[in-house]
Amino acid sequence: MSCPFASPSATLAELAPLAGPLPDAYPEEINRRYRSIEDPALVRRILLRPEDFTPANALDTAIDLEPAALRILAAQRFSLPPVLASAGGKEHLAVRRVVARFFSPAKVAAQAGPIAERVAGICAGLAEDYRGGAQVDLAQRLADVIPPEVMARLTGVPIPPAAELKRWSQDSLELFWGWPDARRQVELAASAAQFHAWLDTSVAEAVARDDANLYAALHHAGVDPARIRSLGYFLTIAGQETTAMLIATALRTALHEGRWEQCAQSEQATAELVGQVLAQASSVPTWRRRVAADVELDGEQFAAGEQLVLKLSGGVLGEEGDDSLAFGFGIHRCLGAGLARMETEVVLASAARALPGLKPAGAEPDWMHLLSFQAPQTVWSTQPAAEMAA
């Protein structure tokens, strides 16, 4: 959580919960289970050795779940078999090749125009609200809206209705990357089971439709339904919630650091702001690996079975403005890196152009954080009357 006494000019490094030393931000049960690796050079070397440091724990729950939660998941036959982010070897590469086709640079670039138009449309509606004296939460009204629409267009697969999507995504993030108590686990498991059931049906329908959508392409590549569902589960979170969180952080930073007008005027200023957010306070500032066998690397000993949490943003990377690790590194590097960066830049620049003179409403927002995710929870904004377009 952010410091309640933070001044309006607090920096991202001060505000983002995972920007500082990781053990300081995690509860004891996480620190007992995970070894934090924060030296960027060592993180890079680990990510380049997926055989020794496997991504098999990418979709594990961060803590052991209690029997009551496990029973709810079992009743739904909930399972996330290894695929893509949590798989290795030839199987990983075969699936990665299929998914990458849907997010090629040309397909991503073609989304910039439609995103800018959609943001302009949303902002026209928001301008009415500001005119009526309302304060607007841009995290909810803008950041949350764009990523699911873009994913649906690029993949051709169904996306749950907005309210369910938000609840299921946030609940699954907390279930897999949080440290919920026993009672909360039961609620989260019930929500995850609902999402799983919805995915079951939508994967079957998309495969049967066979209209060149992502799930049909995976089916033709020989990926079984359980793995397609597992991939759908990951992509819904990875492709949308993380991007919505990055957009919210960028909007917050432009408003609270007085850089809104610059973003309206200069593409370079917008790109620099997004690069800074990725370096200092990315929405996915860590990622996990498991040590396959005893190994020494850069003079450090790693024991078989040890679980690592690798810092990808903040700390030294933030101080040096280095965003080169923000989307991972090596053969598991994020397939949505170009999309997420472009989407965030276009949303920020288009909103800044459409809503001149926007100001933050109220104090710095609180931030949420889990093992591998962080973002401001709200981005309240207001438009002084003098700034409103006629």
Q: Are 313 and 270 in contact (CB under 8 A)?
A: no
What distance in Å separates the CA atoms of residue 201 and residue 175, rounded to the nearest whole number? 22
Q: How far is the CB of 11 from ligand HEM (least distance, A)?
A: 20
Q: Which of 30, 175, 326, 351: binder of ligand HEM (CB under 6 A)?
A: 326
Q: Which of 53, 103, 130, 195: binder of ligand HEM (CB under 6 A)?
A: 103
Exposure string over 310-337, b if 16+ CB within 10 A, otherwise e: bbbbbbebbeeebbebbbbbeebebbbe
What distance in Å separates the CA atoms of residue 108 and residue 102, rounded to the nearest whole number? 9
The residue at minimum Cβ distance from ligand HEM is 336
Q: Which of 328, 360, 365, 376: binder of ligand HEM (CB under 6 A)?
A: 328
Q: Which of 33, 35, 44, 96: binder of ligand HEM (CB under 6 A)?
A: 96
Q: Does 98 help bind ligand HEM (rule: CB under 6 A)?
A: no
What distance in Å separates the CA atoms of residue 204 and residue 176, rounded to the nearest whole number? 25
What distance in Å separates the CA atoms of residue 371 and residue 355, rounded to the nearest whole number? 35
Q: How far is the CB of 234 from ligand HEM (least distance, A)?
A: 7
What distance in Å separates the CA atoms of residue 366 and residue 360, rounded to the nearest whole number? 14
Query: For the sheet containing 380-382, what is the strand order?
Result: 136-137, 380-382, 359-360
Q: Please report the DSSP string for 264-279 in residue order.
A: HH-HHHHHHHHHHHHH
Q: How far is the CB of 70 from ligand HEM (least distance, A)?
A: 26
Q: Which of 25, 37, 46, 47: binder of ligand HEM (CB under 6 A)?
A: 47
Q: Which of 108, 255, 334, 368: binder of ligand HEM (CB under 6 A)?
A: 334
Q: Does 373 help bind ligand HEM (rule: CB under 6 A)?
A: no
The one segment of 6-14, 159-167, 199-207, 323-331 that binds ligand HEM by CB under 6 A: 323-331
Q: How far is the CB of 383 from ligand HEM (least distance, A)?
A: 27
Q: Does 243 help bind ligand HEM (rule: CB under 6 A)?
A: yes
Beta bridge partners of 53: 291
Q: Does 238 help bind ligand HEM (rule: CB under 6 A)?
A: yes
Q: How far is the CB of 283 from ligand HEM (least distance, A)?
A: 5
What distance in Å separates the CA atoms of residue 55 and residue 226, rounded to the nearest whole number? 19
From residue 246 to residue 265, the character string flagging contacts with ligand HEM as x (rule: CB under 6 A) and all else as - is x-------------------
Q: Which is nearer to ligand HEM, 263 or 334 (CB)?
A: 334
What distance in Å separates the CA atoms of residue 308 and residue 296, rounded to the nearest whole number? 14
Residue 301's SS3 state is: strand
Q: Which is nearer to ligand HEM, 70 or 112 (CB)?
A: 112
- The residue whose two tokens read 């152009």 is 353
Q: Which is nearer to ligand HEM, 153 or 359 (CB)?
A: 153
The one segment of 65-73, 111-119, 258-266, 322-330 that binds ligand HEM by CB under 6 A: 322-330
What distance in Å separates the CA atoms of residue 348 and residue 243, rounded to the nearest whole number? 13
Question: How many residues contact ligand HEM, by CB under 6 A?
Answer: 28
Q: Which is nearer to ligand HEM, 103 or 130 (CB)?
A: 103
Q: Are 55 and 288 in contact (CB under 8 A)?
A: yes
What distance in Å separates the CA atoms of residue 76 and residue 226, rounded to the nearest whole number? 13
Nearest to 110 by CA among 284, 346, 377: 346
Q: Which of 37, 59, 62, 84: binder of ligand HEM (CB under 6 A)?
A: 84
- Sign of the CA dihedral 304, 309, 315, 318? positive
28, 37, 346 from 62: Cα distances, Å: 12, 16, 34
Q: Which is nearer to ligand HEM, 168 or 287 (CB)?
A: 287
The one segment of 60-68, 109-117, 330-338, 377-385 that binds ligand HEM by CB under 6 A: 330-338
Residue 88's SS3 state is: coil
Q: Where do contacts with ligand HEM occur on this chain (CB under 6 A)?
A: 47, 55, 84-85, 96, 99, 103, 238-239, 242-243, 246, 282-284, 287, 312, 326-329, 332-336, 339-340
